[in-house]
Amino acid sequence: MKKNIAEIIEVSNEIYDKGLVSGKSGNISARFKKDGKDIIGITPTLKSLSDLREEDIVLVDIDGNVLTKGKPSSEVNMHLEIYKKRFDVNAIVHTHSPYATGFAFSSKRLKRLEGFGAIKSPYLSYIEYEKPGTDELAKSASEGIGDEDVLILKNHGVICVSDCLKEAKLLAVFVEETAKTQFITYMLNSVEDII
C-alpha cells in the first residue's frame, strides 16, 4: 500500500510540474486491493498537488467511508462512481489543464488524435456542465464516460482513466498536447498567409 501511495504522490508532482494542474486544483486517485477489498487512495481537498506527503493521501472504501485522517478531494464521489461502473479502471486523473479546458469552455470539440491507442470515435466524449463536487457531476461523469478513457467536462476540465496511474497520467499529458496542437491549428488557419 505504501507503494500505491508513493505513486499517487509521484504522479501528483509530475502533473503539477507539467502544468496540467495549478494552485490547489485537480485530483487523482488509484484503486488497489487490501484484504480482498477495494481501497481507493485519493488526493486531499484544499492542498496543492505539488506538495503532498504520505499522510496527506486519504484512503476511502468504495462507499466513500474515510479510513484515514484528512478530508478527500471534493470530487471523491465522481471518482467512486466511475470505479463502481468500470471494473477495468484502477486510476483516475482529473485536471483543468489549460488547452483542453479552453476547449471545454468553447464551442469547439476536441478531436482524438493518433498516438494513444485505437481511435474509437473522432471526437472526445463530453458531458454538459454540472457544479463541481456535486452528486449530479458524479452521476453524469460516471455515465458519460461509458467505455471511453477520456471525458471532457464542459466549462470545467478533463478526466482520464486507465488501469494504472502511469497510463492515466500519460493520457492526461497526451490530451493536453493534442488540445495544444488543435489550438495552434485553429490559430494558424485564422490568419492570412504572409506571402
Chain residues in the site for Zn ion (CB under 5 A): 157
Contact 53, 25 (CB under 8 A): no
Closest approach of Zn ion to the CB of residue 153, in Å: 7
Q: Is 188 exposed, middle or buried (0-12, 13-18, 19+ CB in 10 A)?
A: exposed
Using the CB atoms, write b or e for 137-159: b if 16+ within 10 Å.
bbebbbebbeebbbbbbeebbbb
Closer to Zn ion by Cβ: residue 38 or 102: 102
Closest approach of Zn ion to the CB of residue 195, in Å: 44
User: Cα 189 from chain centroid?
Assistant: 30
Describe the crossing of helices 76-85 and 135-144 by its angle, rounded to 10 degrees.
30
Closer to Zn ion by Cβ: residue 23 or 64: 23
Closest approach of Zn ion to the CB of residue 133, in Å: 8
Distance CA 171, CA 149 (A): 8
Which residues are 38's β-sheet partners?
A: 33
Distance CA 42, CA 57 (A): 6
Closer to Zn ion by Cβ: residue 144 or 157: 157
Closest approach of Zn ion to the CB of residue 155, in Å: 11
Identity at 164, one-letter amino acid code: C
Closer to Zn ion by Cβ: residue 113 or 154: 154
- What is the number of the residue whose Cβ is closest to Zn ion? 157
Closest approach of Zn ion to the CB of residue 172, in Å: 12
Active-site residues, by number, are 75
Closer to Zn ion by Cβ: residue 20 or 89: 20
Contact 110, 183 (CB under 8 A): no
